[in-house]
Structure 1
């Protein structure tokens, strides 16, 4: 036999051996499947990767979401140990795995597309399989040696996707809400700082787009900040509804497969781990089908977006011009605004903020549609709610610091323009009522409109007030009802 004939079968068996070394065999009710040997996920994750190739969004897209699954599984394992169901050595291994994920490790193994059928089963099993294999490896075993730590029996002990999945989403939203509120508070503070900076600059207020009565730019910017402050309070209050969770409900809320006392204990552990006042729902059946927490929190985000969008549009209007608009303020110029019109600079940051806000508002509609479309004891559309709300959080979190640093902090006021408007506005006549009387100020307003003259110009012509009186009346503190 020639050497060539010997090499072929040897290479064949070497290739087969190499292939086997690169994969491991796992099985489920649908049969067997080859899983990459270095993968921490298992067969159900692999099936989901084949079935739900929809978007580029996966569990790992949102680190707080991955962390939330680890937190829920850690709380569940500790509760199961306390009720005498999980042995200490398995608890220790699972704790190590969960803490590793909570510390930011292994996130690249959470690969299931956020868009998925099955009410989140694939996301839950992805977490179960990854945590089980991490625990196995940290315990000196090989990935896939489930006789030691099993994804269902151990990581899903006393649980169901129907209680784990919504709880993980709520925990993720709670974790990210702290970060979101911090950025919102920083943005609000920027408006308040501008309010202090502009507190002595008098301007005309406007209602329905028409001249109204005097105010200061400082008051205007403080009002922007206070609007955001009120929305931040609403976002914080909405957390109450996210803190009510249904762990221990298992499939539909009857607690099947969960041990007595487990539900109360897992809620207590979730509260301790997150530092949030998480409690068990009074009615686990109701909590498993209800989407109230998601709806209310999403609504709070929408309300915040509405306020922020309105403010952004106000800034665009106030900065319009520079020659033929309102032009009361200047926004920092960031880039040329046109490919055809030389010298044009656009209000790009408020425009960006509006786009983000419109998306948040539309995401709230997606949450509404998903929440109302649940059937009987479960809502299969929770994945869409998670996608919509986490996207809203993420977009606001990333855009608000850009808006603050690249726009709000650099706003300046056009003092000459403000003074000119005050001088010519008919609206200032309202402030003169207590001095000149309603009948006289009405005549002045009518004459000003007919003659195209300013109120102060007419007052000076008619010598109705001295310059000292005019100066006192135009004092921003007096004119706008502030303390001198």
Structure 2
């Protein structure tokens, strides 16, 4: 067998690897865009394939597609959905044409595999299944790619939410376990009024859950599909029932709740739903990296830092310093979240770069959104399993810092006044004494009242310390 076969498209003949399921247009894209060597993510291949499969079913039911051809397309698509033929999806995500190369890669692979199913060889001069006329029937790159972007994100969405909720739940467990430990709060990275460790860690869990709600809200817009708008939103070359049948069929096939678009022109012109979801991902990323940084600060040491927390040791931390262990999972989460924020910037810039009836920047938007999903799921899962679950509280160290904290005097403001409090704090810090010692030394309060007012645990409940409520 020769190494290549000859395929034709509207521009002429192209040499294609003999065993490749793709054809001329895909080969041209491979030659035109040798950018990174990266290939489409599985989520994108899956989403494009379910579109093609559903279209074949709809057109068979409408009597617009020969049953034998439709069944062959459906079988070919099912093989791809089962994980076969992935090596034939070869177009670099950095490309032009709004994703035409991606769309034709899928059309050609499904068409050629369908032809094989019908007993026709790849190098046959005439093939019954055509990638444009049959696999791409009533479709355009301009409505399939936006639909694939939405489906690709939604395909991994439940996994994303479960992963994030698991992280929040593990923080909740730590918060409950550690709620009896009072520590020094810190603002501006300086000593502040006391907080309970449970309050500090519980707030991390709440921040993640609030961001989960934002993601769920943003995902709702992705459920609105513009498939059936074809080239410009008018639905030219599509059956009047095609749009509604496609949305219903995709819902049934994927198990994902999907809605019809109330304006196919808007669904093709605007990428606002993808941009909005990306922004929600960025928002989650910035909060997660903040939490990772808090853990890194609290775990600093172990002898010359705060050392209120200890991260589980998972690997040696230095090639030259024996015994060093670093918070590598928190550092990994930082870098992963920075990458997601960068991906979001690209999505946002691509979203505003659409013109008139189409946004031609969709290929990299699809790639980045799929990458954001994968990175966040993988990074948060590793962070939760390998760091959060094994996080250790150093109770004695937290209480040691609290005992030295001159800002405890804040609780005495309603009793001795702000100026006296400032004097106490300065004297305690200068003479390395406790607030209690200085207040008694200066005769500002009786010992019994002072001890009641300086109850650090009571301070974490808020309100006025050492002053009885009026009757």
TM-score (ref. length: structure 2): 0.91
Native 8 Å contact 2:232 2:357 kept in 1: yes
Matches within 5 A, 1:102-251: 102-143=81-122, 147-251=127-231
* Alignment deviations for residues 135-175 of structure 1 (CA, whole Å, 9 cap, x no partner): 22223333365642111111000000111112112111111
- Whether 1:55 aligns to 2:36 is yes
**Structure 1 CA distance for aligned equivalents of residues 189 and 366 of structure 2:** 39
SS of the equivalent of 1:211 reads strand
* Alignment deviations for residues 56-75 of structure 1 (CA, whole Å, 9 cap, x no partner): 2112xx22221111111122
Q: Which moved more, 1:395-404 or 1:158-167?
A: 395-404
**Deviation, structure 1 residue 384:** 1.5
**Structure 2 CA distance for aligned equivalents of residues 395 and 131 of structure 1:** 29
- Whether 1:34 aligns to 2:15 is yes
In structure 2, the residue matched to 1:11 is none
**Deviation, structure 1 residue 251:** 0.9
> Gaps spanning 5+ residues in structure 1: where?
1-17
Q: Which moved more, 1:145-154 or 1:307-316?
A: 145-154
Call closer, same or farther: CA 1:274–1:465 in 2, change over 3 Å. farther
**Deviation, structure 1 residue 365:** 1.0
**Structure 1 CA distance for aligned equivalents of residues 316 and 119 of structure 2:** 60
* Alignment deviations for residues 172-227 of structure 1 (CA, whole Å, 9 cap, x no partner): 11112222222212222221121122111111112222222211111111111111
In structure 1, the residue matched to 2:25 is 44
SS of the equivalent of 1:185 reads helix
> Gaps spanning 5+ residues in structure 2: where?
463-471
SS of the equivalent of 1:120 reads helix
In structure 2, the residue matched to 1:6 is none
**Structure 1 CA distance for aligned equivalents of residues 102 and 28 of structure 2:** 12
Call closer, same or farther: CA 1:466–1:54 in 2, change over 3 Å. same
* Alignment deviations for residues 326-383 of structure 1 (CA, whole Å, 9 cap, x no partner): 2211112333434444544332221111111111111111111111112221111111
**Structure 2 CA distance for aligned equivalents of residues 340 and 100 of structure 1:** 51
Q: Which moved more, 1:92-101 or 1:74-83?
A: 74-83
SS of the equivalent of 2:133 reads coil
**Deviation, structure 1 residue 428:** 2.1
Q: Which moved more, 1:299-308 or 1:352-361?
A: 352-361
Native 8 Å contact 1:78 1:266 kept in 2: no
Q: Which moved more, 1:298-307 or 1:439-448?
A: 439-448
**How many residues of Structure 1 are paired with residues of Structure 2 in the alignment?**
459
Given candidates 430, 434, 458, the residue that maps to 1:454 is 434
* Alignment deviations for residues 39-63 of structure 1 (CA, whole Å, 9 cap, x no partner): 211111111111111112112xx22
- Whether 1:77 aligns to 2:56 is yes
* Alignment deviations for residues 288-340 of structure 1 (CA, whole Å, 9 cap, x no partner): 12111210111011001000011111111111222332221111233343444
